């Protein structure tokens, strides 16, 4: 009985460990001399930006876009295998740039996006 309990505890412990192969952060750098707003949509190819939660980035600053389950899982859930990052400037309603990203493009960029 004690052995079964030990085995069960080991199984639970191993299943609770985070997957170190997941990327939970995309680094977004604003190299512009003005503030921008950045958000991403998990619903590609849906381009309705109301779903994205925007965060402002001051000029020449870095923002961490975080996803608890990992961006690999977010992208895998999408049949197109992509996510969109939106950049808004001046008024939070004007999109000035869209980044359509796959896992390959994020890996090539080393999980860092630089604007502009």
Instruction: Please report, for the chain, the start and end positions of each structural domain, with discontinuous segments joined by +.
Output: 20-115
Contact between 85 and 34 under an 8 Å Cβ cutoff? The reply is: no
Of the given ranges (5-9, 39-43, 96-100, 108-112), which has the lowest mean pLDDT? Answer: 5-9
DSSP letter at 51 equals: G
Mean pLDDT calculated for residue range 36-43: 87
pLDDT in tens, 11-26: 655 555 555 678 999 9
pLDDT in tens, 106-115: 999 999 999 9
Cα gap 6→17, rounded to integer Å:
17
pLDDT in tens, 67-77: 999 999 999 99
| pLDDT at residue 47 tops 70 | no
pLDDT score of 42: 80
Q: What pTM was estimated for this model as a whole?
A: 0.75
DSSP letter at 97 equals: E
Contact between 29 and 114 under an 8 Å Cβ cutoff? The reply is: yes
pLDDT in tens, 68-106: 999 999 999 988 999 999 999 876 678 899 999 999 999
Mean pLDDT calculated for residue range 36-50: 76
DSSP letter at 57 equals: E
**Widest CA span in the chain:** 66
């Amino acid at each position: 009985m004690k052995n079964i309990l030990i085995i069960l505890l080991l199984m639970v412990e191993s299943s609770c460990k985070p997957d170190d192969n997941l990327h939970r952060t995309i680094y977004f750098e604003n190299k512009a001399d003005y503030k921008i707003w950045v958000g991403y949509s998990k619903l590609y190819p849906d381009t309705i930006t109301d779903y994205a939660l925007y965060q402002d980035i001051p000029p020449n600053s870095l923002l961490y876009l975080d996803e608890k389950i990992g961006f690999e899982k977010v992208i895998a859930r999408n049949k197109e295998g992509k996510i969109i990052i939106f950049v808004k400037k001046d008024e939070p309603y004007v999109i000035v740039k869209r980044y359509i990203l796959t896992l390959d493009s994020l890996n090539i960029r080393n999980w860092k996006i630089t604007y502009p």
